[in-house]
A and B are shown apart, each in its own frame.
Chain A
């Protein structure tokens, strides 16, 4: 991975949400708001979003990390950190 770009990482997250729920608009959610709650995304949607992020980045996101990933900021920071990581 040649460096990471938080802007790009946020786009990956937003695209993944749009993939799973084309009928919601991630732009209506504050970056630090619980997006699952705000967008009425259930556990199945959440799993599909994580899968879509995984497919875009090659990351495998273990379930134990899910509870800490509630907001757009959480997800973006997580993707950035994991992509920069070892």
Chain B
């Protein structure tokens, strides 16, 4: 959860719903993260935000992450100026949110309701992208001059969507934002589209690949020190599935082609659903089941290192949706544009070595998760089918699991289920 309440619900006179101010804190974007640096705010004081909006880009040891907000509300104050690094849990911004009618206050949990309706005094006047003021006294004043309840919905229809920093950069460099292809949320222009941050900003540590290496080293050392791993393997005949996939792909244009990797992920999600002891976390000396099946996908970065962002609710996606989610995840990971919710939520991780990988991977679990599923290279090998030895495309699936949370019998059942699902592709 990225927010905690800092003040008791306070009623606002008149017709407006009662509101309270909550902190938007630096989220944990992975088990290996201790601190993060604010690269760029995509919102200004007074902006109205909806749950799921990307509001800030945070730089971690591993990547630039687009971080979403978990409440509907209005930005009251930005507390961390770009370039500054703060520990996980440190408030980064303050947000005024409406309190639920039952008086329980904002929870940060998903809500089925849409964005909060604008208040009656909202006249829709555009609010300019006020640059983040780093002078604390002035910042206080800005917040006071523009009380959040009165803040209007930013009307941005008549101009190029852009972050405040990008706006400032464009102004100082005399650039036309409308002429720039935006890569931010909803095509918004962000600082990186203009050739990066101002020159007066130093990255927190000079060598990103070294920081990435150190983050992986810390996490994997912890895994091997704390987790009693057990390892199981199962050879799976993919011939029927791959033949089926080829038939499906014949009719699909290139952009919609489905890769075997998507099939494997679907199989894992289905098998995890039947074996919940492998889907979740070991925390505080006991197993906590995941709040859904969010599959971390290990993605190698060509510059070195790897990230494992999650495909959320992977068990609820069909094959086409899984492929689309995987494609987007890989593209964003390679471009360094992952989202906070993807980095923090994996309940189990899949590593797929791909065409050029080794035959078998005996993985290391990403704590606090309790299982890592690995796939080696798909290879044509002799297999016994009926009474004959025939060439078939096989893959060796492995499970690394936390012996504190499950036993080999459960692990074997999981691999069995996986094999069964992967032999019935039309059901995936």
Contact = CB atoms under 8 A, between A and B. Distances in A.
Interface of A: 21, 23-24, 36-37, 40, 42-44, 47-48, 50-51, 54, 60-64
Given A36-B356, A42-B356, A44-B326, A50 B302 contact: no
Contact of A43 (B260, B300, B334): B260
Contact of B246 (A23, A36, A54, A63): A63
A47 B253 contact: no
A22 to B, nearest CB: 9
Contacts of B249: 62-63
Interface of B: 246, 249-250, 253-255, 257, 259-261, 300, 302-303, 326-327, 330-331, 334, 354-356
Contact of B327 (A36, A42, A44): A44
Contacts of B250: 62-63
Given A21-B302, A47-B259, A42 B355 contact: yes
A44 to B, nearest CB: 5
B18 to A, nearest CB: 49
Contacts of A42: 300, 354-356
B208 to A, nearest CB: 13
Nearest to B260: A43
A60 B249 CA distance: 12
Nearest to B249: A63
Contacts of A64: 246
B299 to A, nearest CB: 9
A43 B254 contact: no
A37 B356 CA distance: 7
B355 A47 contact: no
B254 A23 contact: no
Given A60-B253, A63-B246, A44 B261 contact: yes
B254 A36 contact: no
B257 A63 contact: yes
B254 A50 contact: yes
Central interface residue in A37, A50, A51, by most chain B CB within 10 Å: A51
